Amino acid sequence: MKDNVEKFLTAAERLAVEKRVKAAESGTSGEIVVMAVSASSAYPVAALASSGAVAMAMAIATSRLLASDSLWLFLTVFVPLFIAGHELVKRVPLLKRPFVSRRDLAEEVEEGAIKAFYFRKVHQTREHTGILIYISLFERSVRVLADTGIDAKVGPQAWTAIVDIITAGIRQGRQAEAICSAVDRCGVLLQQHFPGKSDDINELDDAMIIGSVDR
């Protein structure tokens, strides 16, 4: 839910990130985009599995308590519990997490980051110097995607270090400070390889993006 992302950073903190993006870009022709989403997928199968498991356990317990083998009794208990459980999972997404594998989490974050990279046109800067910092809260995961121009100059180790800055900051409850530090680091890398030019323009919005991958 979008509300979860908005609680991740206050309005003042999001503004601070925006100012750091502007400052980091001021000495370079590169572009930095920071995006945070509540989740990279709705995980519908996990939602069904979660609500189904709880409803199944409760229906079986009820049948045993009443010493009944009636299928109708089982269904009478199971169906409303399943519906109620499914609504609860929508409101408390973390209930789905035990039903999603680490592999699926990683794949959805990777796919979400790639979608955002293209949807937000990070790949369309003049010198291919766009960098996307993508934070997905449900999966507790961060990805940094860089366009070909800057990526060819820097390499994967630099992006891994930036991911580590943010994840460590989130664990310590100082996510705003960590994101700003990551933005600063991106700015340094861009300035080293793509210093500012007299005809530079701001090709991508500096505001932090809050919401879903496709909006």
Q: What is the pTM of this model?
A: 0.85
* DSSP helix/strand/coil, 156: helix
pLDDT of residue 80: 85
pLDDT of residue 176: 95
For the beta carbon of residue 120, count every other beta carbon within 10 angstroms: 18
Task: Give me the mean pLDDT over the 159-168 stretch.
Answer: 97
DSSP 105: H
Q: What is the CATH number of domain 2-41+101-210?
A: 3.10.310.50
Whether 95 contacts 3, CB under 8 Å: no
Using CA atoms, how far residue 119 sits from 31, 68, 116, 169, in Å, is 15, 55, 5, 27
Would you say residue 192 has pLDDT above 90?
yes
pLDDT of residue 110: 96
Domain boundaries, the chain: 2-41+101-210, 44-99
Would you say residue 205 has pLDDT above 90?
yes
pLDDT of residue 215: 44
Task: Give the integer Cα–Cα distance in Å for 32 and 207.
Answer: 10
Would you say residue 171 has pLDDT above 50?
yes
